[in-house]
Structure 1
Amino acid sequence: MSEALAVVETAGTDTTVPAVSGARQFWRRLRAQRAALVAAAVVALLVLVALAAPLLTALEGQDPTTYHPALIDSARGGVPLGSFGGVSAEHWLGVEPQTGRDMFARLVYGARVSLGVSLGATVVQVAVGIAMGVAAGLGNRWVDLVLSRITDIFVSMPLMIMALALLAIVPNTFPRPVLVALIIALVAGWSTMAKMVRAQTLTLKNLDYVAAARLSGWKTWRIAVRELLPGLAAPGITYAALLIPSNISAEAALSFLGVGVKPPTPSWGQMLTSADVWYQAAPQYLLLPAAALFVTVFALTVLGDGVRVALDPRAASRLRVGTGRRRENRARAAVPENALPEKALPVKSLPEKEGPA
């Protein structure tokens, strides 16, 4: 698509300059937020580690499922031998208690499960939420009423209870990470997005360009695709960026409860399931997956907030606490003193002179 041209009148002449595109404005606003850039770098590193998990474990010479009984002390209940949980040149982060499986291999493969489940659930949530919201906003009164009531039912539905019930009745032959992603996506998340998209659709469909498309004879689906979806892109991307960390937490909670990803497939939440009894004898078994979950969720939350602010520059970031005064002082220092407007002095009223008696 060719860039729009803006006409700027300077010194009595018309100069045509290319206007800044929306994508360039987004990247410029996002680059201005240092916290969001650091979070984006952390997320990119985590994704790279997850994708390169087979290469990293091959470099270490280990895998996430092989048992090493010679590396644990059976007399002490399965505590890893050696210092720091059995850290060595062959096992970079030590080994797992009782089984002796390599901790580094299980962590990097667990990143694939956690990130894959959360991203897959987010894609389904965004697709279902946009479809339901647009259909409710563009449909007639009865369609809007039925879809809105269905959305309200799913909004009030508790995720953990429904997930526990559904995961208990599905046969074990079904791929567990796919099942967990589908349950997280279809039980929670999409309903809130559907309500947001419906409200935005009701606002957009009353604008002039949508009315012109309707008068031109366009079908409803064409109006939705060509006219409404571009206006729904910004709130959809913002909400999707905030959904990913909550989906990671949901997957970890389900795995922690024992109904999520099943062994021997590694998962951070699954590793925390049995780590509570080893926090004194082998604290790294609890601290490593907990730290990985904390860093991932925190980085995704900060990045989601940065995306929200970049897409909506009028919104003030929740993370810019205490920086407003410094920015104001920096802006004042950049302006010359003679350019600042002088403060108006109060005008004192003069006493009236008395006339001749």
Structure 2
Amino acid sequence: MDRRPRRLAGRRGVVVVTERSVFWGRLRAQRAALVAAGVVGLLVVVALAAPLLTALEGQDPTTYHPDLIDSARGGVPVGPLGGISGEHWLGVEPQTGRDLFARLVYGARVSLGVALAATVVQVIVGVAVGTAAGFGNRWVDQVLSRATDVIVALPLMVFALALMAVVPSGFPRPVLVALVIGLVAWGGLAKIVRAQTITLKELDHVAAARLSGWGAVRIARRELLPALAAPVITYAALLAPVNITVEAALSFLGVGVKPPTASWGQMLTSADVWYQAAPQYLLYPAGVLFVTVLALTVLGDGVRTALDPRATSRLRIGTGRKREARA
């Protein structure tokens, strides 16, 4: 595959066109993807700036405020809208009185961090296994392919629950959640990489590299991995929203992140009995989780469309098809 920059003559002279510039041109032509990227970027900034934001509010995610709880009513926050005030921007948590804004922004750190770390683990393991299976001999392919089939067939939630139940409680829970998700859910990516590798190794430039005496590692690094970048990035962009949902589900089931560490899934676990007395305690984490998953999904679809010129967006709103065609 020729990856050298192309020179095109235009009214402004000779323009150098690279694959990177073409990709960014296609991505910019999709308004929905740009909005989603802005939302994801804002969430990342909020997660990184959590200590600064809570310092501005003057609160932290773990301090109890029993004076803001009406014990006579079962622990409902005192005041309108769950105790919203100048000191507590989104109110306080029922029964404990912990600040909801502080727990939400610190929960973004855990939820987004776990999803990103799990995606990185999935990409590393999936690419390594898929490339080795596709480029190796028949026996290597058979062994790795059967192992991948076993991983794909495993029920993710059940296996994750079993693993996390036997790990000592002293192990950092966010790290454990990321490792469990990443090490259990890499099979789909490995199958995609294997299929692409089998196709790529038959191309002339790969065959020439083998005939010239290059080793398997050098061929994979110089010839295969660059060509696999597009499908891997596309699949990874679509894995992130799935991983953040799985983290929330594990925390909701009580085997994920443990209190007092804040995560959106763990907040939903505590909020399931307060949806009538204090609905804001349920709506805030559910709302940010919905927005995050939607933004990551739209961004992943935009990346997939920009990387594959033959693909069309599955999301018809705001895709900028005319500008995309010009790009």
TM-score range, shorter chain: over 0.9
Question: What whole-Å deviation, never above 9, does each CA across 1:118-157 have from its counterpart, x for those lacking one?
Answer: 0000001000000000000111000000000000000000
**Structure 2 residue aligned with 1:344:** none
2:101 is aligned, of 101, 104, 125, to 104
Contact 1:129 1:191 in 2 (8 A): yes
Shift of 1:230: 0.5
**Structure 1 residue aligned with 2:168:** 171
Shift of 1:4: 3.1
Question: What whole-Å deviation, never above 9, does each CA across 1:198-233 have from its counterpart, x for those lacking one?
Answer: 000000000000011111110011000000000000
Matches for 1:300-311 after TM superposition, within 5 Å: 300-311=296-307
Contact 1:4 1:18 in 2 (8 A): no
Shift of 1:73: 0.1
> Do residues 6 (structure 1) and 7 (structure 2) align?
yes
**Structure 1 residue aligned with 2:66:** 69
Question: What whole-Å deviation, never above 9, does each CA across 1:296-325 have from its counterpart, x for those lacking one?
Answer: 00000000000000001210110016989x
AA of the residue aligned to 1:32: A
Partner Cα distance (2:116, 2:180) in 1: 13
> Do residues 22 (structure 1) and 56 (structure 2) align?
no
So what's the TM-score if we normalise by structure 2? 0.94
**Structure 2 residue aligned with 1:291:** 287
Q: Relative contact order, CA 8 A, sep 6+: which one is greater? A: 2
Partner Cα distance (1:166, 1:253) in 2: 15
Partner Cα distance (1:9, 1:91) in 2: 58
**Structure 1 residue aligned with 2:216:** 220
1:257 is aligned, of 235, 253, 256, to 253
Partner Cα distance (1:219, 1:293) in 2: 46
Contact 1:67 1:101 in 2 (8 A): yes
Shift of 1:327: 5.4
Aligned residues: 321
Change (3 A) 1:280 1:9: closer
Shift of 1:6: 3.5
Q: What is the DSSP-based 3-state SS (H/G/I as helix, E as strand, rest coil) of the residue aligned with 2:116? A: helix
So what's the TM-score if we normalise by structure 1? 0.87
**Structure 1 residue aligned with 2:231:** 235
**Structure 1 residue aligned with 2:85:** 88
Q: What is the DSSP-based 3-state SS (H/G/I as helix, E as strand, rest coil) of the residue aligned with 1:19? A: strand
AA of the residue aligned to 2:267: M
**Structure 2 residue aligned with 1:244:** 240
For structure 2, which runs of at least 5 residues remain unmatched after alignment?
A: none
Partner Cα distance (1:277, 1:133) in 2: 45
Matches for 1:311-326 after TM superposition, within 5 Å: 311-320=307-316
Partner Cα distance (1:7, 1:94) in 2: 58
Partner Cα distance (1:124, 1:308) in 2: 20
**Structure 1 residue aligned with 2:267:** 271
Partner Cα distance (2:6, 2:255) in 1: 56
Q: What is the DSSP-based 3-state SS (H/G/I as helix, E as strand, rest coil) of the residue aligned with 1:89? A: coil
Contact 2:7 2:17 in 1 (8 A): no
Change (3 A) 1:136 1:323: closer
Change (3 A) 1:58 1:309: same
Question: What whole-Å deviation, never above 9, does each CA across 1:252-286 have from its counterpart, x for those lacking one?
Answer: 00000000000000010111112121111111000
Contact 1:3 1:19 in 2 (8 A): no
> Do residues 123 (structure 1) and 101 (structure 2) align?
no
Partner Cα distance (2:213, 2:47) in 1: 49
Contact 2:6 2:18 in 1 (8 A): no
**Structure 2 residue aligned with 1:207:** 203
Contact 2:122 2:182 in 1 (8 A): yes
**Structure 2 residue aligned with 1:134:** 131
Instruction: Report % sequence identity.
Output: 77
Contact 2:133 2:141 in 1 (8 A): yes
AA of the residue aligned to 1:201: T
**RMSD (CA atoms):** 2.1
Partner Cα distance (2:179, 2:32) in 1: 32
AA of the residue aligned to 1:264: P
Change (3 A) 1:323 1:35: closer
AA of the residue aligned to 2:30: Q
Partner Cα distance (1:217, 1:8) in 2: 39
Change (3 A) 1:316 1:139: same
